Amino acid sequence: MYDYLVVGSGLYGAVFAHEAKAHGKTVLVIDKRPNIAGNIYTENIEGINVHKYGAHIFHTNDKKVWSYITKYAEFNRFTNSPVANYKGELYSLPFNMYTFNKMWGVVTPEEAAAKIEEQRKEITSEPKNLEEQAISLVGRDIYEKLIKGYTEKQWGRDCKELPAFIIKRLPVRLTFDNNYFNALYQGIPVGGYTKLVENLLDGIEVRLNTDYLEHKAELDALAGKVVYTGPIDAYFDYKLGTLEYRSVRFENELLDKPSFQGNAAVNYTDRETPWTRIIEHKWFEFGKDENGNDLPKTIISREYSSEWKPGDEPYYPVNDEKNGKLYAEYKKLADAEERVIFGGRLGEYKYYDMDQVIAAALECAERVLN
Ligand code: FAD
Ligand code: UDP
């Protein structure tokens, strides 16, 4: 009999399991996938750590989280600076002086601010949706070329139907700073994320290819408490209806040349290109192998966004009003399950970044393990 059965070996499950073991608890971790690490799984191919479930850049302002996670991996100094490709025109992201110069020919911060001020006038009240929020932040030109097409591809919904907060994730700067994140700490774990999760799970029993919901009764019998990090609606067999998720399909290609696009991420912000972005994985580690040698080949992933349907991997919770209400109903059911803790991006149906997942898992561990 284990003290805890942790369902899901992603970041939430791994941090919780690690803490439980450190508190002297016995833990069994299971995952339905053939590998650990959930969405941050990386696989080394031709010397390149490929982010198999989408590109992940660690960034945080939370000193506690940073000092925690750097105990389990060394992080490099990678800084995310994606490029936007709008019908062959290239723009610097996030929105900064390089972007404004290319878009409008403005040179000084005052000129850029004046241009934005002029264009945001069309929004006269508190922005109610993503479109209004975007125009009010950066004006219509940038909205049309760099936001609208990308966002509608990523979310499969009109920008008027999406919540404003999604676009507030992106910084707007009147400086020549194209760091995508406003974060004190940023980087990629040297040797990949899988190694980081392996370190967290060191000494803990893990069973892969094991679906909790398919073998619930027998697995429940193995432990006193359960930490469940899968989709909350799946846990309850969708009895109140399905929450919506966005899924992503990755098309990976190994190319026999040293560089495809010269940057880790290029976003295709027009509506017509079917993929949202192309990731070139080697640039997360500066194009070098673990010995510091230049890698002769490259691996790229085209990302296609789609609506989730049963059987697909759920990636992004769609945190709009309708889903928020349904989640609140599921949350009531979850709170009534005394033996089970629901955690993580899917268990809490929250658009969490990695640092927030770590903070949430540590907070939960502190609450229940002490
Ligand atoms: P997951 O990693 O999804 O882990 C859940 C695990 O539970 C999975 O392994 C799954 O197989 C398992 N599971 C589910 N159901 C069952 C079941 N029934 N039985 C057994 N196992 C089950 N965050 C950042 O900070 N920076 C980024 O750059 C970034 N980029 C992202 C890009 C993409 C494409 C996506 C989708 C997310 C990104 N994130 C990023 C967010 C980040 O991936 C998450 O915050 C984090 O990985 C969530 O960890 P988790 O443990 O909650 O969930
Ligand atoms: N976004 C955009 N154009 C871009 C990149 C992002 O309009 O080139 C919008 C899009 O709506 C996205 C949001 O900004 O959902 C937040 O972007 P972020 O990169 O944080 O999303 P992630 O993929 O990390 O969840």
SS3 271: coil
End-to-end CA separation in angstroms for the chain: 20
∠ Cα 6 303 156 (to 5°): 90
Q: Do 143 and 91 meet the contact criterion of CB atoms below 8 Å apart?
A: no
With a 6 Å cutoff on the Cβ, whether 213 touches ligand 1 is: yes
Which atom of ligand 2 is closest in space to residue 146's alpha carbon? 3
Whole-number pLDDT of residue 180:
97
SS3 265: strand
Whole-number pLDDT of residue 84:
98
Catalytic entry in 4, 132, 150, 173? 173
Best mutation site among 28, 39, 53 for ligand 1 pocket (most ligand atoms within 8 Å of CB) = 39
- The 10s digit of each residue's pLDDT in 279-329 is 999 999 999 998 999 999 999 999 999 999 988 989 999 888 899 999 999
Is residue 11 over pLDDT 90? yes
Helix (H) or strand (E) holding 280: strand 277-280
Q: Region of 7 please: left (phi>0), alpha (psi -120 to 50) or beta.
A: beta
Whole-number pLDDT of residue 320:
84
Least confident window among 55-64, 305-314, 332-341? 305-314
* Cα(156) to centroid(ligand 2), Å: 13
* Gap between the Cα atoms of 41 and 56, Å rounded: 9
* Cα(40) to centroid(ligand 1), Å: 7
Q: Do 112 and 92 meet the contact criterion of CB atoms below 8 Å apart?
A: no
* Gap between the Cα atoms of 299 and 260, Å rounded: 8
33 part of the active site: no
Phi, psi of 18 (to 5 degrees): -60, -45
Whole-number pLDDT of residue 169:
86
DSSP classification of residue 312? S
- Where along the chain do its domains lie? 2-79+184-242+317-369, 94-167
Concatenated DSSP letters for 147-183? IIHHHHHHHSS-GGGS-THHHHTS-B-SSS---S---
* Gap between the Cα atoms of 298 and 161, Å rounded: 38
- The 10s digit of each residue's pLDDT in 35-51 is 999 999 999 999 999 99
Q: Which of 246, 255, 248 is nearest to 302 (CA)?
A: 248
- The 10s digit of each residue's pLDDT in 182-213 is 999 999 999 999 999 999 999 999 999 999 99
How many CB atoms are located within 10 Å of the residue 365 CB? 22
* Gap between the Cα atoms of 308 and 243, Å rounded: 10
Token digits of residue 209: 């290819």
Whole-number pLDDT of residue 341:
98
Which atom of ligand 1 is closest in space to residue 59's alpha carbon? 25
- In CATH, what is the architecture of 94-167? Orthogonal Bundle (1.10)
Which atom of ligand 2 is closest in space to residue 267's alpha carbon? 8
Best mutation site among 227, 278, 354 for ligand 1 pocket (most ligand atoms within 8 Å of CB) = 354
Concatenated DSSP letters for 10-73? SHHHHHHHHHHHHTT--EEEE-SSSSSSGGG-EEEETTEEEETTS---EEES-HHHHHHHTTT-
With a 6 Å cutoff on the Cβ, whether 12 touches ligand 1 is: yes
What residues does ligand 2 touch, defined as CB less than 6 Å away? 84, 93, 146-147, 150-151, 154, 166-167, 169-170, 267, 269
Least confident window among 53-57, 188-192, 317-321, 361-365? 317-321
Contacts for 132 with CB less than 8 Å, ≥ 6 apart: 123, 160, 164
Which amino acid belongs to residue 310? Answer: P
- In CATH, what is the architecture of 2-79+184-242+317-369? 3-Layer(aba) Sandwich (3.40)
Whole-number pLDDT of residue 339:
97
Contacts for 107 with CB less than 8 Å, ≥ 6 apart: 101
Contacts for 193 with CB less than 8 Å, ≥ 6 apart: 37, 40, 41, 42, 49, 51, 56, 73
Place of tokens 């892969």: 208
Q: Is the dihedral of CA 99, 103, 104, 105 positive or negative?
A: positive
Concatenated DSSP letters for 347-364? HTT----HHHHHHHHHHH
Is residue 98 over pLDDT 90? yes
Q: Whole-number mean pLDDT of the chain?
A: 97
Q: Do 346 and 229 meet the contact criterion of CB atoms below 8 Å apart?
A: yes
- The 10s digit of each residue's pLDDT in 260-275 is 999 999 999 999 999 9
Concatenated DSSP letters for 115-129? HHHHHHTT--SS--S
Phi, psi of 14 (to 5 degrees): -65, -40
- pLDDT above 70 as % of the chain: 100
Q: Which of 276, 351, 360, 357 is nearest to 316 (CA)?
A: 351
Overall average pLDDT of the 64-78 stretch: 98
